Structure 1
Amino acid sequence: MAGDISSLERIPRVDRVRSVMNALADHIERAGMKPGDKLPTERELSLALGVGRSTVREVIRQLQALGVAEPRVGSGTFLMRTISPGTVHVPLSLDMSHLRDALLQTLEVRRGLEVEASAVAALRHTAEDVPLMAATLAEMERVHLDKGTAGREDLAFHLSIYDATHNPLFPRLLEQMRETFEGFFDQPFDRPDFARRSFPFHRELFEAIVARNVPLAREKTYAILEIVEEDIKDMSR
């Protein structure tokens, strides 16, 4: 339920779309709204925040494009996923009905983020970061050897690298794109051997980061993602 909206406060004229977006996300978080709950109406938001309906409509359109809200004719607008002010601007998802295209698009983003994250982690990691990276890698290896695949454990390992950058934007971006990235870890194309050839490179990547070898960390990350790209193209034929 939308609940009491008295906590919403009027906002200044500057950057109203962003301000309304933040205010609505804050309300959703503090009201404990869940997917399926109905959002306040355009009129309620307009009056509570002191903005025009056109601004509210633009915010709803953006939330709809992000997969956060769904307007239903005659019923109102409904929350599709929970958000907060810290995540509202980049909760990314893709249309996974076209799996090959979605994975290749996501891979382009992964390549930009992960190669740079590996390099920064090699430069900035501390002694406290190494045990966490080692533990997540060991768990990934254990599950992989036991089951032949280790999707969630693979993601946890990469998150530990992001944490080791000591740049909070890296883990925040990965968390906000988690749903999209997890498309790689659900046995795409019903092939449990997807990206299996990349498995040995993860330990080599870890060792390069620990050794503070930036060029090698980049190289091993590229190697992992090149195999992923090859498998996407080969297995989707």
Structure 2
Amino acid sequence: MPADPSDRPRIEPLPPIDRARQVTEAVASYIDRANLQAGDRLPAERELMAALAVGRSTIREAIRHFQALGVMESRKGSGTYLLKPVTSATVHMPLSFDAIHLRDVLLQTLEVRRGIECEAGMVAAKRRTQEDVATIEEKLNEMERVHLAKGTSGPEDLAFHLAIYDATHNPLFKQLLEQMRGAFERFWEKPFNRPDFARRSFPFHRTLFNAIAAQDPESARAETLKILAVVEEDIKDMSQ
């Protein structure tokens, strides 16, 4: 028999710093303390907003984080449900770096990206559906639009790569990205205060898309390596 909601612990309000991460940790802690199990429904968005004193967008960002980890799902018209047990110790494991300088952090992250993104591109080329192709192209078109208007792109670049990860139909790719998001996001924050960082890699995103659409894994790998080669060159050149 499900527990009486009135017997569950309270969700405490948060201080006004680093909202999204705090919401993620607060929800994970609540799930752990309330002993929620797979199949249990989480408190409604409105309840979480009121309890944590944050806006709807912050709550949804936290839920998306859990969805990417494969531990929650949202059901239209019903709510958000737990798919797997969650604890505050296992949901968020940010990577840490010994390197002090941004150059070294970026180069270390690049080594990891090279392995994951080449494989993701190849798997996506093998498994993508027509719906995946349409989604990747939509993200690419938006990335190109922003790039042509501003000369650079940030979140749009990340959205393009996330769509490729989704096209692998292997949730571990996206889960790995979630755990490494802090490190990976440095690539989309104008490193070295240079808005032209990795701009030369822009055309290869279209050729990468073409390879995935054509279901050509080797070409997808080659185009990914071209993108990351430009990134590596810019890290070394711009950090001198």
Q: 1:28 to 1:183 in 2, by over 3 A?
A: farther
Cα deviation code 1:39-84 (max 9, x no counterpart): xxxxxxxxxxxxxxxxxxxxxxxxxxxxxxxxxxxxxxxxxxxx85
Residue 145 in structure 1 maps to residue 143 in structure 2: no
Secondary structure of the residue aligned to 1:179 is helix
Secondary structure of the residue aligned to 2:130 is coil
2:20 corresponds to which residue? Answer: none
2:91 corresponds to which residue? Answer: 87
2:128 corresponds to which residue? Answer: 125
1:216 corresponds to which residue? Answer: 219
2:177 corresponds to which residue? Answer: 174
- Structure with the greater alpha carbon radius of gyration: 1
Structure 1 distance, partners of 2:90, 2:220, is 30
Q: Which runs of 5+ in 2 are unaligned?
A: 1-7, 10-25, 34-47, 53-86
1:111 corresponds to which residue? Answer: 114
1:27 corresponds to which residue? Answer: 29
Q: TM-score, normalised by structure 1?
A: 0.65
Secondary structure of the residue aligned to 1:166 is coil
Structure 1 distance, partners of 2:110, 2:208, is 18
Q: Which runs of 5+ in 1 are unaligned?
A: 1-5, 8-23, 35-82
How many residues matched? 168
Residue type of the alignment partner of 1:27: S
| Contact 1:93-1:179 at 8 Å conserved across structures | no
1:165 corresponds to which residue? Answer: 168
Structure 1 distance, partners of 2:177, 2:221, is 18
What is the aligned-residue identity percentage? 61
| Contact 2:211-2:219 at 8 Å conserved across structures | yes
| Contact 2:114-2:225 at 8 Å conserved across structures | yes
Q: TM-score, normalised by structure 2?
A: 0.64
